Amino acid sequence: MRRPRRARATAAACLGAMVLLAACGGTAAPSATASATRRAAGSAVVQAPPTGAGPSTVTILQTAAPSPDFNPLIATSAYNTDIDGLIYQGLLSLNSQLGYVPGMATYQIGGNGRQITFHLKPGIRFQDGTPLTAQDVAATFAFIFNPNYRGPLLSDFTALKGGQAYANRLDALITEATPPQGGGAPKLTHSQFEVQAQALYRTWLAGGAIQTPNASTVVFNLDSAYAPILQYIGLTGIEEARQLDALTTPTEIANAGTAGFSTHPVGTGPYAFVKYVNGQYTELKAFPGYWQGAPKVQHVIFRVGSQSQAVGLLQKGAVDAVGFQSSQINPQEAPRLAKIPGVQGWSYPQLGYQFLVLNMLQARFDDVRVRQAFEYAIDRRGIVQKLLDGHGTVVNSPFSPASWANPAGVAHLYPYDPAKARALLAEAGWTMHNGVLTKGGQTLAFTLDYPGGSSSPIRQASAPLIQANLDAVGMKVTLQAMSFSTLVGTLLNKSTSTATSYDAALLGWTSNIDPDITGIWGASDLYNLGHWNAQTAGSTALYEESQTLTQEGAGTFDQAERQKIYQQLGTLYAQNLPWIFLYSQNDQAYVTARFQGMVKDARGPLFEGTAQNWTLSAP
């Protein structure tokens, strides 16, 4: 499950979150779009990519085909995003602890956190030679608000001045222009919708959310201080204003993914697009005018191949790298990959984690001692060793172990200790009766649901291990695999999610780079799957403290202050467990010995603005 974007929880946004949730924590990478998959499968002519053994070419395995729209404002496929990171670049960058640092611009915070001013660095050009200006930046983000924009990013930017009011009114107009389910005509015709929506857009633009006082300065104004927007503004690839402004009709804007600048993209990153052979490979070339210095590797090929081919392709030298970003490899393939002569490998942490959610509307689960007993009873490190070949980390808080926000003091909070689990359960009043823990007519016999089918095979394999661990301390767990959509539909539907709708479930969560956790554990939040509230938290004061800290963390831009807040919040959640935190899987990358210079930390080896440092040594 991907953490929610700010504000709008529309049906489309929920569906997108569900799709990502299905892939979390598995050995397979996030799926490319269905249309891209069909295109790849239907390719009639196979054109071999340039060889990976070339003295100036790096070939990287992609385990699914990207779609042909290489546009960071449109892309919904993670495979496209990997490629886009080499072509485009954002205003900011990240350090190894995932903190913001200047990229193509420096920035200042003003107006009590309601204004962010970016100053572009001089001499930056697009790959076609056009200078980067403030107008390009403004046009990139204004395009996202266009009523006919069909990409996924609008809800990321509603913290901009007037953004939420605009989004709400646009949603209302869309509803009025949609035929009712029972039949009949919509309230607005298409032309009426277009007139009103464009007037709404012009009004928002005139409201001053984005200002360009000169060619090198861009000012973003917010309704209120909201620090996570730095991620969205700072890490979104900037596009040329002249290309975006050339789309003038509703149809052109809606179909921006098929426009020439999407199929033959131009950005400010270290590599320029050369060609995409449908479903087979994407070729890039070094941009000699790149603002951080010309790349040392002249050509990059993203070659499409299956996950099962990774070992063979690397062994033959047909590719130089496997396991980069979205194209994850099966962790159990690690021993085979490590044995290939001349191959070097490393692990880098994912930002997400696996968790077990308990329905705290059931009285047996609203006692924190019972939830803590789950943590002690489950051999989480054993799961990492057995199923991930050691390539993972036990987690005890909602923040990534790689993030500056993660509280160091909780790292060893719940070692595997069945005796401690039994003691906590006894302290909470549970006694063994007929082979199962019992208290006041209740038992700790329950059903643990998890997504089956093509969802995460590692999560599925963990279910019987968790069952055995819990059985060993007196719980009786019945496993139930079900379709992903059925399970998540039950958990997200607040009108039907009750004390009897489910007992417990295994799922995965994908965090953003920014550690904000707004939208997860507020009493009415869509993703508050276990029903954390003033009652289930054990006290109103504790619940209100969790909400206050969440708001304070999002409401200040001072990273040192945010770190203090999140250390406190992470510790609160680690101790009180709105979810049972399990483990975070590491991604693994393997490269030929000649390939050097890539980032090996949580940013990932394809992180934008780093590929210019890649090198190739002589064979």
For 490-532, what is the HEC assignment?
Answer: HHHCCCCCCCCCCCEEEEEEECCCCCCCCCCCCCCCCCCCCCC
Of the candidates 205, 224, 259, which is a domain's last residue?
A: 259
| CB proximity list for 215: less than 8 A, separation 6 or greater | 133, 134, 135
Instruction: Report d(CA 18, CA 407) in Å as an integer.
Output: 28
The yes-or-no verdict on residue 328 having pLDDT over 90 is no
342-363 mean pLDDT: 94
Phi first, then psi, for residue 423 (nearest 5°) are -65, -40
41-54 mean pLDDT: 46
- 145, 157 Cβ separation under 8 angstroms: yes
pLDDT bin (cut points 50, 70, 90) of residue 619 is: low
Q: Which pLDDT score, from 0 to 100, does residue 115 have? A: 98
Element (H, E) at 449: strand 445-451
Residue 114 falls within a domain, yes or no? yes
Beta strands in 104-255 (DSSP E): 105-110, 115-120, 210-214, 217-221
556 and 420 both lie in a single domain: yes
Residue 6 falls within a domain, yes or no? no
Q: Which pLDDT score, from 0 to 100, does residue 500 have? A: 85
The yes-or-no verdict on residue 29 having pLDDT over 80 is no
pLDDT bin (cut points 50, 70, 90) of residue 575 is: very high
222 and 292 both lie in a single domain: no
Element (H, E) at 554: helix 540-554
296 and 369 both lie in a single domain: no
Residue 334 falls within a domain, yes or no? yes
Of the candidates 209, 237, 259, which is a domain's last residue?
A: 259
164 and 231 both lie in a single domain: yes
- 268-325 confidence digits (pLDDT tens): 999 999 999 998 999 999 999 999 999 999 999 999 998 889 999 999 999 999 999 8
CA atoms within 13 Å, Cβ hemisphere of 318: 15
Long-range Cβ contact pairs of 546-552 (< 8 A, separation 24 or more):
546/521, 546/572, 546/573, 546/576, 547/521, 547/522, 550/516, 550/517, 550/518, 550/521, 550/522, 551/518
Residue 354 falls within a domain, yes or no? no
402 vs 49, higher pLDDT: 402
Of the candidates 199, 234, 259, which is a domain's last residue?
A: 259
Helix pair angle (457-471, 368-377), 10° resolution:
110
Q: Which pLDDT score, from 0 to 100, does residue 399 have? A: 94
Give SS3 for 93. strand
Instruction: Report d(CA 521, CA 220) in Å as an integer.
Output: 29
pLDDT bin (cut points 50, 70, 90) of residue 433 is: very high
Give the CATH number of the domain where residue 273 resides: 3.40.190.10
Give the CATH number of the domain where residue 151 resides: 3.90.76.10
Percent of the chain with pLDDT over 70: 90
469: left (phi over 0), alpha (psi -120 to 50) or beta: alpha
Instruction: Report d(CA 29, CA 32) in Å as an integer.
Output: 9
- 348, 401 Cβ separation under 8 angstroms: no
235 and 337 both lie in a single domain: no
Instruction: Report d(CA 363, CA 503) in Å as an integer.
Output: 11
392-414 mean pLDDT: 92
Phi first, then psi, for residue 482 (nearest 5°) are -145, 170
Q: Is 584 exposed, middle or buried (0-12, 13-18, 19+ CB in 10 A)?
A: buried
Instruction: Report d(CA 195, CA 187) in Å as an integer.
Output: 14
41 and 131 both lie in a single domain: no
422-429 mean pLDDT: 98
Residue 100 falls within a domain, yes or no? yes
Long-range Cβ contact pairs of 284-288 (< 8 A, separation 24 or more):
284/83, 284/86, 284/87, 287/127
Q: Which pLDDT score, from 0 to 100, does residue 48 have? A: 54
218 and 334 both lie in a single domain: no
- 528-561 confidence digits (pLDDT tens): 999 999 999 999 999 999 999 999 999 999 999 9
594-618 mean pLDDT: 92
**CA distances in angstroms from 126 to 135, 296, 378, listed in the order given:** 13, 19, 52
Q: Which pLDDT score, from 0 to 100, does residue 2 have? A: 38
Nearest CA among 217, 237, 225 for reference residue 80: 237
- 240-280 confidence digits (pLDDT tens): 999 999 999 999 999 998 888 999 999 999 999 999 999 89
405-424 mean pLDDT: 95
Phi first, then psi, for residue 280 (nearest 5°) are -125, -50
| CB proximity list for 406: less than 8 A, separation 6 or greater | 397, 399, 400, 515, 566, 570
**CA distances in angstroms from 552 to 181, 471, 556, listed in the order given:** 42, 41, 7
108 and 236 both lie in a single domain: yes
Q: Which pLDDT score, from 0 to 100, does residue 495 have? A: 65
**CA distances in angstroms from 322 to 61, 302, 330, 488, 588, listed in the order given:** 5, 10, 11, 32, 8
Using a cut of 0.75, tell me whether the model's pTM lies above it: yes
pLDDT bin (cut points 50, 70, 90) of residue 78 is: confident
pLDDT bin (cut points 50, 70, 90) of residue 19 is: very low
44-54 mean pLDDT: 50
- 129-182 confidence digits (pLDDT tens): 999 999 999 999 999 999 999 999 999 999 999 999 999 999 999 999 999 988
Structural domain boundaries, residue 536: 362-585
Cα R_g (the chain), whole angstroms: 25
Range from 4-18, 304-318, 365-379, 588-602 carrying the lowest mean pLDDT: 4-18
467 and 390 both lie in a single domain: yes
CA atoms within 13 Å, Cβ hemisphere of 40: 23
Residue 525 falls within a domain, yes or no? yes
34 and 164 both lie in a single domain: no
The yes-or-no verdict on residue 219 having pLDDT over 90 is yes
Nearest CA among 381, 353, 615, 360 for reference residue 507: 353
Q: Which tokens go with 581?
A: 């935190």
pLDDT bin (cut points 50, 70, 90) of residue 608 is: confident
575 and 598 both lie in a single domain: no
Which residue's entry shows tokens 């200790």?
Answer: 417
Q: Which residue type occupies 407?
A: P
Give the CATH number of the domain where residue 488 resides: 3.10.105.10
- Residue 311 is classified by DSSP as H
Q: Which pLDDT score, from 0 to 100, does residue 41 have? A: 31
- Residue 180 is classified by DSSP as P
56 and 93 both lie in a single domain: no
What would you measure as the largest C-alpha separation in the chain, in angstroms? Answer: 77
Residue 64 falls within a domain, yes or no? yes
Sheet-wide strand order for 442-443: 431-433, 436-439, 442-443
Residue 483 falls within a domain, yes or no? yes
Average pLDDT of the chain?
89
Q: Which pLDDT score, from 0 to 100, does residue 12 have? A: 28
Q: Which tokens go with 207?
A: 């409201």
403-410 mean pLDDT: 91
- The number of domains in the chain is 3
5-16 mean pLDDT: 30
pLDDT bin (cut points 50, 70, 90) of residue 54 is: low
The yes-or-no verdict on residue 37 having pLDDT over 70 is no
The yes-or-no verdict on residue 15 having pLDDT over 80 is no
Q: Which pLDDT score, from 0 to 100, does residue 332 have? A: 79
**CA distances in angstroms from 71 to 81, 128, 151, listed in the order given:** 8, 16, 10
